[in-house]
Structure 1
């Protein structure tokens, strides 16, 4: 069998359906210091510019740095398989050569130039890693066919399977076998290649829940032996990945919850329920990735406007200030990307739309300037501020003298709400820079789809 015959992995997989009451909150001193106040920006090279190249994207680096972006996560930039390819250009996630560079995007020298330029400007650089499957014309298919998962009934290599080991329609990729030690070691060496030769600062691991806990524990140990400052993001909500020393996991549940609250009028109390489950299941210093858009959501589930209407900014404020969360932006979000980009074809982002960079610059600066909003357990405690309106969510984050208080109105109408549980202090309105006095309880008026972020004290 493919992945889950490993007994420890099987137990952990089943645990994802029946979570224990508390994960042991061991010290996770491995988080790199540079991630303490960081945010993340996903780069879709193919669609970013009309040229769709590394060199063309490189011209955007100063603008993104000025906007306050800290970490660039590049979608896969390795060569894309031809056999069984979907569409004209194929899926970024159908990797033909783990150590190669997609000629559609440029040369190895172009990629080196881009990464070096990003580092010189102060960015950290993460690359997408796809360990679950390869393209059908990856050299392993002929050189090491035993690296692949073979269907026990037919004896044939299967196409990609999901992280529950279920069949999918991913016919352009072939499933790898995580019971093969040689394949697992080859994967590790390919990851080390990018650290050693391109000075990659981290990996966003696609479908990280599709491999065993033992594999990731050992692999991350190897990677950090080469670079102790490497940052690891798992595209998964399996909490045990934090115990493997992944720094951050996806907040998929929170994203879908936010779509329901901001787009379908669901009661904001569901956010409280979510946070209670997170406190129970996830380690206190495990980072969670929060977002209103990414490549999957945009291409397959529709635009931000389609999903949450006029609440894009209000929802992002929550992502940027929520306990344990690191905020993510997607390519084009800063101009209100309002089309679903085609996944297998060229479909360039329209940069002529009105810029929203001023908002995102202020929102991202919250994370870098307010100690209460630092990532993981570096940040402050979060306390709910109660209101009498199911569309208004409010809370405070406190660390030392620093207080950040947030009110968000997800309704399409101006509201005046009663609240209680705030910190009675003098504040600065973060977005308008006006001075505000806030009492422990009172009334507050918020515009339709509006937000209020108040800051107080030393950061």
Structure 2
């Protein structure tokens, strides 16, 4: 009887211990999820940039729901287009104070409550660097997005906004000295250093980089996303407005934690020196494409700009090539507005030119509108000729060494043609692989000859035979282009 009693007590104790076992905290669960996610993709390396394609995701406008979940289910489509790096526009909570509308008014100044409710504000007016915007979903939804991207061999970078915060950011009340102030001691919006006047970004407050404690907190918040949420780098907004010595202080600390990819919204070559940023924007090449399409410049401007780039940047410097992004689309026009009939022609050029190409949300769906910036404006995912185009271009980029765009890029060679003001022709070469791009970048039919011979496969035209005979003219329709293997 005594033995039976002891046995019953022992069993009861074991059951009690099991029932009272402490549940894992959200932080512990996060750590487990992060560890699991780290196994699904290899560490980021420079060689990945050789054949990378970047995709900029506008979560709010991508789907009717505008959520992490709705976007996550389409990540396999990105892989089909050769995307290796997924750049998420800011995912953080948006400031409710001085929340801006399209006409420049603040939401709180709009009398009609229904109209006021439509104002969602700018992604770039952040109220907390370490939380997610509930408009997009939960942090768990975000983690699933990162996990899914990694499972598809896609690295995730976050849009980081270091120059300013929203007016109700947690630092405003707790640490007002983190901000730039005027003579009256009032926090101000960002100032253009060249003119000394406001940029007009009055929905955000300017950060003071003379404050060393602010710098430490900024770096700590960036490290949070690397350590706890397993992201792979950052696209840094107006990176050239932040002192370069901050990047010299921050980026080595971030890289100590993990191999990461760093993209600067800037064009200064010095930002890519000393293992700081991996890539900057190819703004000048982008503007040149627009101006050629709009007849403000001729095709010769492309070669002139390429020569300028080669003189300005070092061989290991990388430019991001793009025909659109969130700023260009919302403020300067859709690709159809800016590039007219040359949308596909210049998309191909952005893939074939030295550098790494960008696809902005909606371009794969032939989007032909300016997305509203401060309110909901869903991308229509119906017509998708460009998805097939990007899929072909992405496949070529991923497999052909001649399109290497990383820190040891393929060589670029100008090819002469008889109509240099109307046609672009060049060759990319690396090791034993080469590829040629020729294009009529006008809205008129041309008869043009090229200064080379060869039997080729026309890659974008089902690899059909394509013959070029030196000095023999070829008829090219408006905006016609060929990628010759």
Q: Distance in 2 between matches of 1:59 and 1:159?
A: 38
Q: Residues 441, 179 of structure 1: CA spacing in aligned structure 2 closer, same or farther, 3 A cutoff?
A: farther
For residue 121 of structure 1, report the CA deviation from its aligned partner. Answer: 1.4
Alpha-carbon distance between aligned partners in 1 of 2:243 and 2:473, rounded to the nearest angstrom: 51
Per the TM alignment, residue 31 of structure 1 is displaced from its structure 2 partner at its CA by 6.1
1:269-280 alignment, distance < 5 Å: 269-280=300-311
**Equivalent-residue separation in structure 1 for 2:191 and 2:342 (angstroms):** 35
Partner of 1:286: 317
**C-alpha distance after superposition, 1:159-202 (max 9, x if no partner):** 12357565111111000011111111111111110011111112
Q: 1:292 to 1:163 in 2, by over 3 A?
A: farther
In structure 1, distance between residues paired with 2:128 and 2:137: 15
Equivalent residue, structure 2, for 1:431: 460
Q: Secondary structure at the residue paired with 1:149?
A: coil
- 1:398 aligns to what? 429
Offset at residue 72 of structure 1 (A) = 1.0
Deviation of the 1:252 alpha carbon = 1.1
The partner residue of 1:353 within 376, 383, 408 is 383
Pick closer, same or farther for the CA change 1:377–1:107 going to 2, 3 Å. Answer: closer
Q: Say whether residues 1:182 and 2:213 are aligned partners.
A: yes
1:336 paired with 2:366, answer yes
Give the structure 2 partner of residue 238 of structure 1. Answer: 268
- Counterpart of 2:154 in structure 1 is 123
Q: Find out whether 1:40 has 2:70 as its counterpart.
A: no
Give distance in 1, aligned partners of 2:383 and 2:360: 15
* Structure 1: gaps (5+ residues): 1-29
Contact 2:49 2:406 in 1 (8 A): no
Contact 1:263 1:311 in 2 (8 A): no
Please give the TM-score of this superposition, normalised by the length of structure 1.
0.88
| Partner Cα separation in structure 2 for residue 106 and residue 163 of structure 1 | 37
- SS of 2:95's equivalent? coil
Say if 1:32 and 1:230, in contact at 8 Å, map to a contact too.
no
CA contact (8 A) 1:284 1:376 kept: no
* Structure 1 position 388 matched with structure 2 position 418: yes
| Of 361-370 and 139-148, the range deviating more from structure 2 | 361-370
> Is 2:202 the counterpart of 1:171?
yes
1:322 equivalent to 2:353? Answer yes
Contact 1:393–1:409 (CA under 8 A) maintained in structure 2 = yes
Residue correspondences, number: 421
1:147 matched to 2:178: yes
Instruction: Give the distance between the partners of 1:379 and 1:238, measured in 2 at CA.
Output: 19
Contact map agreement 2:189 2:206 (CA 8 A) in 1: yes
- Distance change (3 Å), C-alpha of 1:54 and 1:99: same
Superposed CA RMSD in Å reads 1.6
Shift of 1:385: 1.0
Alignment pair present for 1:201 and 2:257: no
> Aligned pair 1:365/2:395, yes or no?
yes
Query: What TM-score do the two structures reach when normalised by structure 2?
Result: 0.84
Q: Give the corresponding residue for 2:139.
A: 108
SS in 1 for 2:307: helix
Q: Deviations over 1:244-303 (max 9, x none)?
A: 521000011111111001222521111222122212221111110111111001111111
Q: 2:481 matched to which residue of 1?
A: 451
User: Which has the greater radius of gyration?
Assistant: 2
